[in-house]
Structure 1
Amino acid sequence: MVKSIRFALAVLAGLAAALPAAAQDASALTIYTYDGFASEWGPGPGLKKAFEAQCNGCTVNFVAADSSINALRKVQLEGATTQADMILGLDTATAGEARTTGLFADHGLELTGLDIPVTWTDKQFVPFDWGYFAFVYNKTKVPNPPHSFEELIAMPESFKIVIEDPRSDTPGLGLLLWIKAAYGDKAPEIWKGMKPHILTMTKGWSEAYGLFLKGEADMALSYTTSPAYHAVSEKDENYAFAEFTEGHFPQIEVAGILKSSPHQDLAKQFLAFLTTKDAQLVIPTTNWMYPVIDLGDELPAAFYAQPKPAKVLELDEATITANSKSWIDEALAAIQ
């Protein structure tokens, strides 16, 4: 643990030194996010261009961590010295923990017309995309996928899945909550039954999905929207998600303004921008998630190729915040 903290502090020192001078300017907005969002193939560049075109000379600077959870940790470590104005990429499973830090300001926005699976009343965080956690497979290689966790457990031991670590990655935490919401106190039994099928638990989504694409595993924990990526970008319609009869747990990704930001008005402008059509048109085919507003025919048909799960599972924020650490310990103990 000490070694990890020292390493994190060293990274943070380098990060602070590497921040562009513009991050100090009154017209610059510095946003901590995860690496996939800020990458050249992610939504970051398109959102930056679109927002800068309408914000009267401002500059948007994305600073990437390897996950949104670590973006939050960076701000916590940096404290009053942080250059971040916002954190983008937390989700409804981590928002409660983030809220308890007291770092986030109310956004003050009237959010109407959202197209998401819950009624949105959050005063600090603004949604910008969403999806359901699901196991993705290739139909040519897995013609008969499991349709429940119990069917997965009953598969031959040679049938392998790859999942993400709930301590470091939001999909990993999402799987934990998915199983808990579906099975409650029986969750440890499900984890124990899944153990022979888990090829590995990776630190993040990219590593897990990469192993799946290399053929190392039969299914990967991802999203119901992942097949749309293959259909649109690769013209490959052989990917699908396995709909589970227990239902599926949603992830809604959010952004929030830090109280310490000296650019509150500009940050609120960016939050408001995230839910506009200009921003939402960028996100589906770069972050490969559902938009938070109805884009109609402008959303590629691949997002509708497979119906959304019929049953939606839920856990309230207070329950998640109070129990997630013990649930993580419970799951890890079952598969070790």
Structure 2
Amino acid sequence: MRVLALVAVVTVGALSACSKPACDRSNCSVGCCDASGTCQAGNTANACGIGGNTCTTCQFTQSCMQGACFGGNTGGSGGTGGGTGGGTNTQNGLTVFPTTASVPYSSSLTLSAALEASASSPDVSFSLEQSATGQLSRLNNQTAVYYAPNSGSARTVRIRATADYNTSVSQLIELTLAPSSAVTDAIFPSSRASTVMVVGVGEKQTFAVTRYVTPTQLSSLTTAEWFRWPSGQSFAATYTGDANVKRIYARDPATNQYLSTDVSTIGLQRVSVEISPASATVAPNGVIQFTATASDGSAVDWMVLNSGGGDVGTVNSGTYTAPAAPGIYLVAAFVGQVASTDASVAVATVIVQ
């Protein structure tokens, strides 16, 4: 799978110039350090990196993929936003997702809508009901992002999705604003809605949710539930490329918080690589065994994707030995030339802590 863009999911706040500490793994474990010593999110081609390493600039043919410059297709361990609540609901041919949600202050939630094929126009508008707080940004003809205020007391916000061709066709989405959470979740891999993550028909992509409590307290949300839009159907963490799917949602069943990432499926069916486990947590200098298979039976090669120098651990025939320093490391199993757009790759996220 080829990733055209990844959303920056976590940014470590910069301190004032007079007290700014050196940028390293201790304060930038989920990003990279640029030339000025500032921690960057590490998911852009101009500043790519992870684990507090030095940011690198990807080549023209490459994109930044989970903190590593890469020119091929990804699979393995997957933006932003928090929301909690219900699944799809269809009324008068208009389907929305989610129908109810609990959104922490200072976070956002992607809202989706779709009209039945018989509608004279597929376009849907979103609007805040009277006295509602927060902001709406319409991304395209069937998607909007709700941005919650920075702070406030618990309250309900109602958003109306309305068919442009017939304003009598509408549905309410009810959001409950909640206190901000100290925990940040992020899908890997992920995309920004203005760009897309490309998957071949039949190609497999494994998603994962990584949880950040602090830059050095990390874990994987293994209980996440996964849904495909616009069908709203649930699926296991491994998604098989389907031309009808436009967006992937992840839900934390404990809090009902939703995350989402956009996908686009093309008619090309490439060799797919599956890696297991898709994410793992090990102690410094610990060892973990990964396995990987290619859909056509090809031999699989291994590498650690982290860039920027420093000890990132080693992998040999799927056996990964972690470095001494805590952080996030990326183990890749691939078929083909790793810098080629025809490469097929599965990426596992390893949290060392």
TM-score using structure 1 length: 0.29
Larger strand percent: 2
Larger helix percent: 1
TM-score using structure 2 length: 0.28
